[in-house]
Structure formats: structure tokens, C-alpha cells
Structure 1
Amino acid sequence: MNLLYQSQRAMRAKREQAMRRGVVAVLDIGTFKIACLVLRFDETDAPRGEGIGAMAGQAGFRVIGAATTRSRGVRFGEIDTVQETERAIRTAVQAAQKMAQTRVDHVIVALAGGRPRSYGLDGEAVLQTGTVEDADIARVLGACDVPDIGHGREVLHAQPVNFSLDHRTGLADPRGHVGNRLAVDMHLLTIEGAAIETLLHCVKRCDLELAGLASAPYVAGISSLVEDEQELGAACIDMGGGATSLSIFIKKHMIFADTVRMGGDHVTSDISHGLQIPMAHAERIKTRFGGVMATGMDDREIIELESETGDWHHDRRKVSRSELIGVMRPRVEEILEETRARLDAAGFEHLPSQRIVLTGGASLLPGLDGLASRILGNQVRLGRPLRVQGLPQSACGPAFSACVGLALFAAHPQDEWWDFETPADRYPARSLKRAVRWFRDNW
């Protein structure tokens, strides 16, 4: 794990450089929109390294600029056309800078695509003094045997989720405890390296420096789940435009993350094809009249369609709301059923609490919580991001969960709590040179 933590230190050096300047931007590059928040850190209130957990250290910053723009050149949460995405990023960042009345050089980005894959690691070490010290934690982290993550994949997050000392388990921070043998369970999240390199290239073209990367399922979870849900066990489903991200938390740590490559844009596409109308009009109809649970009144609600084929009768058609729901519901059911399969594969049913929180822009469809309860078979609620200081009212909806969570991550990355110097003799059998190659070449 030694080289892995070197990559974490390299990323943190850029973030600390940005925080010393007092201003940093967070950027959520989604398929439907690109959102940018400019954060100002106050040195008097900045976190001093106290507290452990995803919600620790959220104080110490204020949102002084916010802007959104229509995303271009992004598919399934990944950059598809660099030139178009570059223009969209410049538009969002410049608008946020104008509102904040300051210049931003460093950005921290949330990545929704990249086909995330979760691994569970474990390691053991014998205590040298009988009391757990920093050096013992470093040795037990270095003892974790890293699996073969595959060619072309990079490590994005590596976090201890549980410490065990002799017969005691469930320790959040074992330092200072007395015992003989220390064990650790870790969660490792990897994504495709090509997605990172394309993102890095695009950010550089915008005259910005990448100061941090985070997984969109992770940051959406820490902003939408309340403290009890993170502690007892819950899943966060972030339904975006091009992808649906899901993450599972327990004991305030993420233990699983995955992405379903379908989202709200696919529902819009179904409306466009099913009703034979342009995509822009299909999006307006979905936003204004859309839903997934039909009622007896829907047959009486008539929707006027608009198209530009030149055929007067075709361009002036009318459909009922129940017909619209009949087009939308199959795709939404498909997304939820695929999400259910991912949760079953992760063993979600074994958690003590099985609360599911829906967030993201596509979660605003009327009746989605009821349909999700039928398919997912659990307690489902709609989640909104936590309120942070200075956040405008327009950025308080579920569509901004990942962006707000990224601001919390920027103030306090959880990976850094366990950054200790690993002894040189504890190098793993399979070193992670791939995980640090792009850091070494670009920082």
C-alpha cells in the first residue's frame, strides 16, 4: 500500500496549495449539467485535524460563487468530446468566478463515470509495544494484499472501514488502545485510467489545475445521507442524466460503489422516440407533466405536442398524461431493477438498516419514491443535500447532491486521516505503479 498512499499525498499537496490561497472551486461534470461552486476557506475556522468520519470537518468554508450550464460532450458521466466539454467547463467556471469576484486556479472534480469497481482488503500486524501507535497503523495498512485491479485502472479511494484489536472489532480509531494483534478492513475503489487522463487533459485546457478527484457516488452519499443513516447502513442512489450512481455506507464509511449507465436522459430519449418529438420538447414535457404512477385523472389531462416536420396534423397532435407515463415508466423500472441487482450483488440485504435514499435530478419525477419502494423492497425516501454556508437557494435541490458533497470532501477528505509513513520493508507483493503513474507524469 506504500505507493498507493504516495498517490494520495501527491493529490493532497495540490489541495493544500489551493487552500493556502484561500479559494478553490469544485466541479461536478455531469451528463445533463456542469455545476461549479467557488469555496472560500477561513483560516480561523478551518479544520484542525480533529474528528473522524465523512461528515467531520465540514465547517471552515463558505460558498461565494455558484453557476451551472448545460453539459456538452459528456456521455454516461464520462467526457466524450473534449472541445465541447472544455467550453462548458469554461462557461460554468467563469460565471462562478464572476459571482465570487475572484479568480480560481484550482478545481476539485467529481467523476461519475469510469466504471467504478469496489474491492475489500484486509491486513494484520502484531503490535510492537502493546499499545496501538501511528507506526502500527502504518504497518497494518501496508500489510493489506492489494488485488490485481486490472490493466488500465487506477485507484481513486482507499479507506479503512473497520479496525479490530484482538477480540474487539468495530473500532473507528484504535490509537491508544492496548492489545497484541491489530487487523484492518479496507475499501478500495478503482476506475478506468483513461477517464482520469481525459479529465486531466480537459481541465488543463481550461487553464486550471486539478487539486483533487472524488467519486460521484461517494460525494453524493456524504451530502444526502444523515448521520444515523451513514452509521447504521444505507444506500444512496444518485439518479443523474446519463448514469445512476449508487453507494453503500455503514459506520460512516463507504463500503461499495457502482454505476448503472442509464439515467434521466434515457427517459427523455424514450419520450422523444415514442411520441416522435424533438429532444428539447421531450425534456420540457418530462419536466412539466412527467411521472411514473398513473391515476384515474391522467386520462383527462391532455398534453399538446410540438414538432417541426412540416405536417400540420402531425405537428399539432395531443396525448394524455397516462400515455406519457406509459412511455416513461418502463425505462424507470429498468433503471431501478438494474440498481436492485447491483445492491443484491453487494450484499446490501445483510446490513442492519436497509434505508435507501434517492437523490439526483432524475429523482424529482413524481411518484418515483413509491415505484422505488415496490421494486427495491426497502424503506425509500427522497434526499436533498445538506445545507452549507453561503449555498444559494437554487443549488439546494437533489440535482446538486454531488456538487455539495464535493464541497464537503474538499474541506475534509476522509482518506487523509490514515496517511502515515509506511515502513520500507512493508512493500506489498503487488505494487500499484499504475495507481501513481499519471500523478508522477502530470504533477
Structure 2
Amino acid sequence: MDASQKEDLAQVFGPDWQGAGDLDYVACWFKRAADFMRDKKVQASFVATNSICQGQQVANLWKPLLTPDGMHINFAYRTFVWDSEATEKAHVYCVIVGFGPGVNHGGPIFEGDKVTQATNINGYLLNGPNVFIEARATTLCNVPEMGVGNQPIDDGNYLFTEEERRAFLKKEPNAEPYFRRWYGSEEFINGKVRYCLWLGDCSSATLGKLPECMKRVEAVRTFRLQSKRKQTIQAANTPRHFFIENMPKGNSILIPETSSEKREYVPIGFMGPDSLCSNAVRLIPEATIYHFGILTSSAHMAWMRAVAGRLEMRYRYSNKIVYNNFVWPSPTDEQTKKIEKTAQSILDARALEPDATMADLYRTASMPDELRAAHQANDCAVLEAYGLSKDSTEEEIVAHLMKLYSEKVEELRQKELEEAERLKAEKAAERERRKAERAATRKTKL
């Protein structure tokens, strides 16, 4: 959006609308229509970019609109591609949403040739209650925190292809110990080989003997000083380090930030401490094989598909929306061991084809039989831990997870209220104690 469009957004939603600045411009029409229809027997429908029904925008736009005395969605057409008639076609990923005031009788949800009659259409354009998944800084459950990888802000000076690395080492062979394998989503999924030159733990004395490395450090410093961002300019003081650093000392689970919607499972794996990752992936340090089993399951995939943002139609995995709001099962010891076993079977099945990339292994039509069987066994084990049938549909899985989410959020809200009441009572008791002490002091003086 340009400045005038951002001004439009601010005027339409006003200063009190939470998260309005993160909405797409098309959301203005939904707000204007809702204002117009508030006291009228009128309905509206719009074709819109599908992003308003994905990720954080769902809570930002629909939570204030879909209230008992406000709007409800009458029908929805889930994501489809709108092609222009121009020679150079521009593919736009759209939804159609019909909404208005009055009695909510549900309505049809269209997806290609499939039509589902819903009792309630929520902001994700699913048949279910009006649940809104909002960004959280911490996890709902007691599981390891998820972070992002490293963000160099180096103008490409520290990143190398295999050929570039070889050419560099011909000039400066003593720099070899400072090269590490570098993984982003592209490198992890498609087996693309890249390296980074990591000089953060290189001593000044050693660096002084590596003139080619020193040139890179100086180039990074110059690049950062030319930035308009205060934080980037400050980072010029530490040019050997990345702008953002996340380098776990042990094994971590790696989840690509962006991956194809055509895959049944998002490729997930373990990453050792000898490799470094870009900010195009999500990392979970100190995660176990059990965590891997849950995250690579059909249950977690269903949750991700329902609440994640999208880039066109590709999945955009977010720690604040997807991971932190995901409610984990409460398995028995036996169920935990079963999930650990099925998760290990997935890794074992991958190892049968060591030359295959993740893209090769997770191509839906040609997934290896052993890998598919391992995933299906893991899916069943995880669904059992949730108390669901192995034959549960994705819609049933999402409905169950959203129910657990609502219960968990309410549980945390009650705990916060109880904690607030406890602190209030403690402060009141402290005031009474001090009041009694002052009274006793005055009595003693008299």
C-alpha cells in the first residue's frame, strides 16, 4: 500500500481497531459494508484476496465483526485462482465471502465442485465455531520454544554457493574452518548446497591473517552503515556477527517457513549444531523425537493448513500463530512411547533413500511406500493420543483442535483472573497490616 491507501485504512478502521495496520486494503470494504448494514436488512458479498481469511488477519478483521449482535457469514467460496485476460497472466488467489446481520442459519461453503452445508461459517471459512487464533509470544503448552534462524543483513558477503566457496578457498585456504553449511527453506527442501562464512568466533589475531575474510567484514560494515534503519546502523559495530543470531548448541527441529501446499506433509527434520540456518526456517532447540512425531503428524498438518498464513497458496509457517497456539495431546506413557517409535520409523524410512531430497521424498504422488506407511502409522498414534479415531476427517481434526484451543485459552484466562485477584487480596492485606502498624505506633506514643 502507498501512503494514501494506508491513510484510507486508518480512517476506515479508526484508532481503536486492534491490528488494523496489518490488514489488507480490501478489508476496508468489509468494514464499510458492515457499518452500512448494521441496522438494515441487507446482505453483502465481496471477492477478496484470500489472505483476509488466513493467519493473523482473521482475528484482526473478523473477531470484531462476527459477534452475536453483529455480522455472520452466509456463504463462502474458498480459495480459487482468478486469472486475468492479459497476455501476461497475473494469478490472484481469491475468496468470495457473503455476510450480513440477522439470524445466523449457517450456509454453504464452496470449494471447487464440493459444497458443504455449514451450521456456522467462521473467519477461516470453515464449518465451526467462531474461534480466532491470535498471535502469541509464548506457547500454550509446556513444550520447547520455537525461534527463527539467523538473519545476516550482509549484502550477500557471508553467503556462498559451492563454486563460490571453492574459489574463495583457493585465494584463502586457511578460511576453511570458518565455513558452515547454510540452510533456508530452499536448501532444506530441495537439497540446494550453500555455505556461510561465520567469523563471529574468529579471533582478531587470526582474522588479521585472513585478508580476504577481512574484506568481507569491511564490506558488511559499510553496507550496514548505509542503511536508514537505526538497528542496522548499530549492527555495523559488530560486522563479524549476523544481525539476528540463533545457533543452538544441540540438535533442533527445523520447519521451513514457506513450503508447497501440494504436499500432504510439510517436510520437517532435525538439524545439528554444525550447520547454520537462515531466518527462512523455524527452529526448535532441544526438541525430542516425540516432538517431531507430533509436529509431522496429520493432526498438526491439519491445524497448520487451517490457521497459517499463505504466500499465494504456499504455507507460511509462523511460530506466533501456528506453533504457539497449537494444543498438544496429553498422552499416556504407552502412547508417548508409541509416538516415539512411529516418529523414528519416519526417519528410518527417509534414510533408505539417502540421495533423495525432501522434495523427492514428499512429492505426494510418488512418496516412497515405506515412508508413506511410516507416516500413516504415526498419524494413527497421534490421533489416538488426542482421543480421535484413526479415520477422523481433517474437518473433524480441526474442529477438535479448535475446541481444545478454546478450552486452553479460557483456562489460562481464568488463571490470570485468579492471579489478579490473589495479588489484589495480598495488596489489600498489606494495606491493612500497615494501617494496623501505624495505629499501634500511635497508641504506643500516646
Structure with the larger RCO, 1 or 2 (CA within 8 Å, 6+ apart): 1
Higher helix share: 2
Structure ID, larger Rg:
2
TM over 0.5: no
TM-score by length of 2: 0.24
Higher strand share: 1
